[in-house]
Amino acid sequence: MTRINGFIGRRNFFKLAGTSGLAIAATTVGGSLITSKPKTAIADVSPANLHSVNPNQALKLLLAGNQRFMQQKRQYPHQSLARLQLVAKAQYPFAAILGCADSRVPAEIIFDQGLGDLFVVRVAGNVASDIAIGSLEYTTAVLGTQLIVVLGHKNCGAVVAAMKNQPLPGRIGYVVEGIKPALTGLNSTDAVIANVQYQVDKLQKTSTILGQLMQAGKLNIIGACYDIDTGKVIMIT
C-alpha cells in the first residue's frame, strides 16, 4: 500500500515525516490515533480510492450542503446502516475541517454531510495546535483528503477572551495564547476573521507535510467563517 487517493500512503508518509520521529497508526478501537512503530498497519484505509475529490469539488459539496442547511432542506446524506457498514471498512473523507469546539458549530450538521464525509478536528478558537496539525497531516497524507477548511465563527468566546488579555484559570490560557498573535488592534468581528487567516497561514508554513502536498497541487487550505445567527458559511480570502 503506497498510494491512497493518489497521495503518499503509509510508508512514504513516514519517510516524509523525516527525523521528527512521527509514526501514526489508527487503532482498531474507536479509530483513535496513537504513536507506534512504522511497521504497524493503518486501519480505515484500503489501497485506492477510485472516486477522489479535488479541492474545488470538495468546496462545492460543502457550500451546497450549507445552502441546504440554511434553507431547511437538509438531505441527511450518508447516514444509513449501509453507509455505516461501508465506512467501517475504509474512510475517504472528502474534506477536513479545523473548527471551533463551540457546541453551536457542528461541522457535519451545518454542511449537511454524513458518515465518512468529513474529517473534523475541533478545538476552542479553531487553533492550529501541534495535535491539530498532526491530525490534519494524517487525513491529508494518509487518507487523501485534498481540502482543509479552517472554520471560525461569529461571537467566538475564545477570540473574545484573547482580546481581553486577562489571566485565565487552568489551561484555558493555552488556547488564547494560540490566538493572540492575530488580534492586535482589532474589533471582535475582524478578530475572528484575522484568527482564521492566522491559523490558515500557520498550517501552510509550519507543517512540512501539508506544505509539500500543497506544492504538489494535492491540497488546498482555506478559511471560512460561520454566522451563528443565520447559519451561513462565508469563505475568507
Specify the pLDDT at position 106.
98
In the predicted structure, residue 42 carries a pLDDT above the cut 60: no
Specify the pLDDT at position 14.
53
- Report how far apart, in Å, the C-alpha atoms of 79 and of each of 64, 89, 96, 114 are: 17, 15, 18, 5
Side chain identity at residue 39, one-letter code = K
Q: Residue 15: inside a domain, yes or no?
A: no
Three-class secondary structure of residue 167 per DSSP:
coil
- Report how far apart, in Å, the C-alpha atoms of 210 and of each of 7, 132, 191 are: 12, 12, 25
Specify the pLDDT at position 43.
53
Q: In whole angstroms, give the CA distance from residue 237 to residue 15.
A: 33
Percent of the chain with pLDDT over 70: 78
Bin 170: left if φ > 0, else alpha if -120 < ψ < 50, else beta.
Answer: left
Q: Residue 107: inside a domain, yes or no?
A: yes
Mean pLDDT over each residue of the chain, to the nearest integer:
85
The pTM assigned to this predicted structure is 0.82
Q: Residue 158: inside a domain, yes or no?
A: yes
Helical spans, DSSP H, in the chain: 9-17, 55-70, 81-87, 107-110, 130-141, 157-164, 172-177, 188-206, 208-215
In the predicted structure, residue 115 carries a pLDDT above the cut 90: yes
Q: Residue 87: inside a domain, yes or no?
A: yes
pLDDT band at 188 (very low <50, low <70, confident <90, very high): confident
Q: Residue 7: inside a domain, yes or no?
A: no
**C-alpha grid cell for residue 145?**
483528503
In the predicted structure, residue 36 carries a pLDDT above the cut 90: no
**C-alpha grid cell for residue 190?**
475582524
In the predicted structure, residue 28 carries a pLDDT above the cut 50: no
Q: Residue 1: inside a domain, yes or no?
A: no
pLDDT band at 6 (very low <50, low <70, confident <90, very high): very low
Q: In whole angstroms, give the CA distance from residue 144 to residue 91.
A: 10
Interval 66-89 mean pLDDT: 97
The tens digit of pLDDT for each residue in 147-163 reads: 999 999 999 999 999 99
**C-alpha grid cell for residue 225?**
467563517
Q: Residue 4: inside a domain, yes or no?
A: no
- Indicate which CATH number applies to the domain containing 223: 3.40.1050.10
Specify the pLDDT at position 19.
38
77, burial (CB in 10 Å: exposed 0-12, middle 13-18, buried 19+): middle
Q: In whole angstroms, give the CA distance from residue 89 to residue 145.
A: 17
- Give Cβ neighbours of residue 57 (< 8 Å, ≥ 6 apart): 94
Specify the pLDDT at position 237.
78
Range of the domain at 120: 51-236
Q: Are residues 99 and 124 in contact, defined by beta-carbon separation less than 8 angstroms?
A: no
Domain count along the chain: 1
Q: In whole angstroms, give the CA distance from residue 185 to residue 74.
A: 39
In the predicted structure, residue 8 carries a pLDDT above the cut 90: no
Interval 69-93 mean pLDDT: 97
Q: Residue 11: inside a domain, yes or no?
A: no
Specify the pLDDT at position 75.
97
- Report how far apart, in Å, the C-alpha atoms of 92 and of each of 96, 149, 182, 198, 217 are: 10, 16, 33, 27, 18
